[in-house]
Amino acid sequence: MRRRILNTMKRLEIVVERDQLPAVRAVLDQRSTGYTVIPDVTGFGHHGMREGDIILLVTVVTRDHIDPILDHLLPMLNQRSGVVLITDVQVVRGEYFVPELRGAMTPRG
């Protein structure tokens, strides 16, 4: 059996109001290699019940990219509803999650 190399990365789950999506995407476009958007999220928090007007973005980045992302997101979160959850995650092909290597990767197709 082949042993796989796992890389420790950070998973960010960003919950924001739907109209904040363009601003959050702009941050992630510059500081990550990609993200997943899950629309129409329902939740309950400081602002009460929210149904369909919040979204969830999920991305995986290196530890070095956390602070630059948070530096841009925190001012938004201080004025509006939202939360960022950060957890450790193990990934294969860790080089796919490093923005500085984005141009060096050969697209599969």
**Mean pLDDT score of the chain, rounded to an integer?**
89
Give the neighbor-by-neighbor strand order of the sheet with 7-17: 36-45, 48-61, 7-17, 82-91
- The predicted pLDDT at position 104 comes to 60
Domain ranges of the chain: 7-91
Averaged over 53-75, what is the pLDDT? 95
- For residue 101, what pLDDT band results from cuts at 50, 70 and 90? confident
- pLDDT at position 81 over 80: yes
Identity of the amino acid at 26: A
Fold annotation for 7-91: Alpha-Beta Plaits (3.30.70)
Averaged over 19-34, what is the pLDDT? 95
- The predicted pLDDT at position 83 comes to 93
CB 51 within 8 A of CB 14: no
